[in-house]
Structure 1
Amino acid sequence: MLFLGYAALLLCWTSCTAQRACEEPPPRRVKEVPTKIWDKPPYPHGTQATYSCRPGYIKPGRIMFKCVDGAWQQQPPVTECKEKPCGHPGDTQFGSFELTVGSEFVFGARVEYRCNDGYQMLSQRNYRECQADGWSNDIPYCEVVKCLPVQAPENGRIIMAGAFELDQEYAFGQVVNFECNAKYKLVGAKEIICSSNGRWSNDVPQCQDINCDVPEIPNGYVHSPKQSYKELEILRFSCNDGYRYGERSDALCTETGWNPPPYCTEIVCSPPVVHHGNFRPDKGSYKTGDTIMIQCDPGYHLKALTGRNTAECTGNGWVPEPACVRK
């Protein structure tokens, strides 16, 4: 009877002190994977599971989980795998790059390359990604933008500093200047620049015959006008009554047009200065045909003895001269 009591007590102590097994495999991890397959639960108390890093990650130390009374617990030191570094992705000539994914050059990071203004990317991919075995693909390559060759305009030529070849491509920023042969004028841009988009800033200009059209001359007219005038031909003109030519009564046809420009200006007379007398009406200026009446002081008379005391504004000034002289 005593033996049966001891047996029952021993069975109770054994069952009460027994620790539970783990019913699930070791926990799944993002960066780590168990070093062996765990697919036959349960796992007794005290079972240990070690982990290795997934591709693209490196292990700073031991990573191990242990089954403790039915639950998996990570054993110290508690750590995890870190992203594998790829180092600097490499610079590209005539361009730059920007880190677009991640904050460091480690596994999973992505850098995108851009070419400087006036350069274009020749590589199919403009990016590099930090992968498990290092940076993907080669460093993208940037090449200077080219513009198509240009031909000299008819009756003209290309002027360019330094030696150059016809039918050559031009690089971004290069400038081509144009000139026309004698008796021709340039119509369009005198110079064109190879732009950053690979196009010329302007079309190639033209060289056209130098011709001058008959000008419209307000308050004037052209003598024997022609349909057009060639370079160095002279145009002659006159002004209507009350007007006179501005600089000359003729103009020369040049590459830039008529020289000097033909125009007529209204004839005006300034108020005269009459010593020993006065005049009326007194105005700031007088047009052709306007007259003034002159009154000389006592003892003086009008210089021009015409029998009248008036003077008229003409194309040659005041007629007669408005002046008082001593009798």
Structure 2
Amino acid sequence: MLGADSVQCYHFGWSPKLPTCKVGKVKSCAHPPQLLNGKGKEMHKEEYAHNEVMEYACNPRFLMKGSHKIQCVDGEWTALPVCIEEERTCGDIPDLDHGDIKPFVPPYHHGDSVEFSCREAFTIIGPRFITCISGEWTQPPQCIAADELKKCKGSKLFPPEGKRAHTIEYDHSTNKSYQCRGKSERKHSICINGEWDPKVACKEEAQIQPCPANARDMTTTVKYQDGEKYQFYVKKII
């Protein structure tokens, strides 16, 4: 099979394109293409097999349009993303109650990050770093008092511990592993202030859905595993 193994009906038709079934041997791909104003994460091989994936990242102050992954499909690479220079800067760094920020000199350009830390007796919840993306800061963390941290509810997917696992509550930062039916690998999740991260669940791998009308085509055969994160950037039109 060449292409996606599933398609979906939308108001504009089927997406992604229907796959094809080829008889015989599939071709490998040559060295992946260079990305203008960006680079590949692993570019040490001269030949890539069918279905192999290459990941790209844009240079600082450049915004990626399209999927950060391309894939070798019968001798051809899927569409390369584009790195666009982002001139917008971010305003003041958000305040953090009971926390501190490592000194950072403005202006804050696209891709710049700042680091937060919490004061004694407080625990940081959320990302320690925030990043300037297209003129706006990503979501800052919180500093929660140690005695106010919430517990996580257990799950039926956890191995038994002498009593029903879903009736047990787990402290913040508890790491649990579990195994989905029919899968050999174990999954891991951490209790973060009352929520499991990633969410405790057994489901099949997912695919990024196509962009809506008037957006850049992001059709790709690359598959994304359960729990893998993907960011979309929406450009404001004034």
Please give the TM-score of this superposition, normalised by the length of structure 1: 0.22
More strand by share: 1
Q: Which structure is higher in RCO with an 8 Å CA cutoff and minimum separation 6?
A: 2
